[in-house]
Amino acid sequence: MRDEETASIAVEASLTGHLVLSTLHTNSAPETVTRLLEIGLDPFSFSDSLICIVAQRLARRLCEECREIYRPDRQELAEIIAEYGEEQFAATGLVGNELVLARAVGCPSCGQTGYRGRLGIHEVLECTDSLRSLIKKRSETELIRRLAMDEGMTTLRQDGILKVFQGLTDIHEVRKVCLK
């Protein structure tokens, strides 16, 4: 959706019972809310029509033939946990000193890149009553992000880091595709 007219038509369709799926280029799901308000959507109709917003990125998947499993040192682990959010990391139930990560190596199977294929990194912002209230007040992106995280949203970066912990990609790839 690039303009107010298109966005308004989508909202009207949604309010009359149609499921509307669309794309919009933003850096995160919360930014989508403020972007749509900035182009002129009525916050009351918009908030009533919204179910959820999904932000996504594609990251390179580590080659399963050659990826190297390793135990991160304290500094690397501390940096990754800080990026994830220490409080949120504690809630995952993962134990830092037991984590193993994987890194790209390179082999004939992946063309010496260390990566083969791609995987999705996602952020899902569910529209709750408290989010509707913020939309109606035209709240700033950061306030929307904080509320969503308080209500359990996993950010793009956090989802990417979870995939690092699963050995599917590495932290360099997540940092590359997920802006701060």
pTM assigned to the model: 0.89
- Residue 145: name the closest of 7, 27, 23, 20 by CA: 27
Q: What is the pLDDT along the chain (180 residues), one digit of tens a residue?
A: 888 999 999 999 999 999 999 999 999 999 999 999 999 999 999 999 999 999 999 999 999 999 999 999 999 999 999 999 888 888 888 887 788 999 999 999 999 999 999 999 999 999 999 999 999 999 999 999 999 999 999 999 999 999 999 999 999 999 999 976
pLDDT value of position 7: 92
Nearest to 128 by CA among 41, 38, 53, 25: 53
SS3 108: helix
Instruction: State the pLDDT at residue 25.
Output: 92
